[in-house]
């Protein structure tokens, strides 16, 4: 029996084997999603959502819930006087955005089938780490987020990205968390869009970010924003700034050309550039390689270790290419997607993930026929002086025109045998 939609939510039929929010939104791709536990009725005859995930776009906050066969979604807007027709149009826009952001036109089960034939390691992981796909993020936010990732961990990157939003972007809307078991009044949370390049390019930003605990990354962020503004700004004012639009055009370049452009920016090395290529610029074959991925390659695929004391030498360009090429030969056209499964499975936070989800795995085995939709582990460092509470958010949408017009509609035919 299909789980009914929660009040105010709409439904999208989507097996969890095609998208697992619990893994995709927490495995180090995007850093501004918030997660809230929901009150669960254990007597309910159907599987019900246990978490609500939220993120802030430029003109709305998107709220998601999930059960094994359905994704539920709703939007919250600054205006609360939308007519029924306006509300229906806005929710249709949100659905377009969801399909684009999660790249739902790519059949993940087909990819998993292919990887399982190619790679016994991924075949063993499949039953636990299902539904892991690559997000199609806004390139500007993705770029700045991974500049923050240098020598960092997921918790601190999340705190930094949240601090950028709270300190450099006005709140769009405030709303309380979902109801909890206590039923006590809950304080509203402010949701902030991601700040644009022109804001982070200001000369005083670097010193302010250092005071917030960004360290040497503060200069990289300000310099990159300044470089993009100086090179790509136009006299015409637009809601999505010209530097942001320029970054989006890199989706049309081949991988080598897009990487070359990214490497010109301050604080962007090969690994950061490859993260941006994979997670926002449609370069599905790219495998970002850091010491964490290198350890996976040595452990599972018998690639050479780093030279130096206890295997802790420098990642050379030659070794980077060797790892990337070797894993790419194994996994094929969507190697970057396959890499994310290995990366997630090796994170400490997922060490017991999926070990007790027998019912959930049963739903996966029967879901093929129902789907018809066309950072390294480190010790926590010094906490940011800005406290990141529960209001972690996200941005992408242009306030000036409809979201449906802004989201690039793409149709892909996935070929995974070559």
- DSSP state letter for 409: P
Question: Catalytic site residue 271?
Answer: yes
Q: How far apart are CA 147 and CA 211, in angstroms?
A: 17
Closest CA to 161 of 141, 190, 133: 141
Phi, psi of 144 (to 5 degrees): -65, -40
Decide: helix, strand or coil at residue 184: coil
Q: How far apart are CA 341 and CA 361, in angstroms?
A: 16
Exposure letters 54-77 (e unless 16+ CB within 10 A, then b): bbbbbbbbbbbbbbbbbbbbbbbe
Q: How far apart are CA 195 and CA 413, in angstroms?
A: 35
Tokens in use for 306? 């780093």
Q: Which residues contact 217 (CB under 8 A, 6 or more apart)?
A: 147, 148, 150, 160, 209, 267
Phi, psi of 228 (to 5 degrees): -65, -40
Q: Is the CB of residue 272 less than 8 Å from the CB of residue 278?
A: no
Closest CA to 9 of 57, 49, 56: 49
Please, how many CA atoms are within 13 Å of residue 205, restricted to the half-sphere of its CB?
A: 25
Alpha helices in 268-379 (DSSP H): 270-280, 291-301, 317-331, 335-345, 358-365
Q: Is the CB of residue 27 less than 8 Å from the CB of residue 158?
A: no
Tokens in use for 258? 């897009």
Catalytic, out of 271, 318, 333, 368: 271
Closest CA to 15 of 109, 126, 91: 109
Give me the helix-helix angle, 291-301 and 317-331, nearest 10°.
50
392 Ramachandran zone, left/alpha/beta (phi>0; psi -120 to 50): beta
Enumerate the active-site residues: 271
């Amino acid at each position: 029996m299909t789980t009914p939609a929660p009040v105010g939510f709409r439904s999208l039929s989507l097996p969890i084997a095609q998208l697992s929010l619990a893994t995709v939104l927490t495995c180090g791709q995007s850093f501004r999603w918030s997660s809230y536990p929901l009150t669960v009725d254990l007597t309910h005859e159907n599987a019900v959502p246990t978490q609500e995930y939220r993120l802030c776009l430029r003109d709305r906050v998107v709220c998601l819930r999930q059960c094994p066969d359905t994704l539920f979604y709703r939007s919250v807007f600054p205006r609360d006087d939308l007519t029924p027709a306006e509300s229906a149009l806005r929710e249709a826009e949100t659905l377009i955005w969801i399909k684009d952001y999660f790249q739902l036109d790519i059949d993940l089960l087909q990819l998993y089938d292919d990887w399982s034939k190619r790679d016994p390691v991924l075949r063993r992981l499949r039953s636990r780490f299902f539904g892991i796909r690559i997000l199609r993020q806004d390139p500007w936010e993705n770029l700045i987020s991974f500049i923050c990732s240098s020598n960092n961990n997921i918790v601190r990157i999340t705190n930094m990205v949240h601090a950028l939003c709270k300190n450099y972007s006005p709140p769009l809307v405030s709303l309380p968390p979902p109801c909890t078991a206590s039923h006590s009044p809950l304080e509203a949370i402010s949701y902030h869009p991601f700040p644009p390049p022109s804001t982070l390019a200001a000369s005083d930003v670097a010193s302010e970010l250092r005071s917030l605990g960004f360290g040497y990354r503060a200069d990289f962020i300000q310099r990159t924003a300044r470089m993009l503004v100086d090179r790509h700004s136009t006299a015409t004012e637009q809601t999505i700034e010209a530097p942001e639009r320029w970054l989006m055009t890199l989706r049309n370049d081949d991988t080598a050309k897009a990487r070359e452009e990214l490497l010109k920016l301050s604080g962007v090395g090969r690994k950061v550039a490859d993260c941006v290529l994979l997670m926002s610029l449609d370069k599905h074959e790219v495998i970002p390689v850091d010491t964490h991925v290198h350890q996976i390659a040595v452990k599972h695929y018998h690639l050479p270790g780093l030279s130096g004391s206890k295997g802790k030498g420098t990642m050379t360009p030659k070794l980077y290419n060797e790892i990337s090429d070797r894993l790419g030969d194994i996994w094929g056209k969507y190697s970057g997607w396959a890499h994310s499964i290995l990366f997630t499975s090796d994170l400490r936070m997922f060490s017991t993930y999926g070990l007790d989800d027998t019912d959930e795995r049963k739903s996966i085995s029967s879901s093929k026929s129902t789907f018809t939709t066309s950072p390294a582990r480190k010790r926590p460092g010094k906490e940011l002086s800005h406290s990141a509470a529960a209001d972690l958010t996200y941005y992408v949408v242009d306030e000036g025109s409809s979201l449906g017009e802004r989201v690039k509609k793409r149709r892909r035919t996935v070929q995974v045998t070559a």
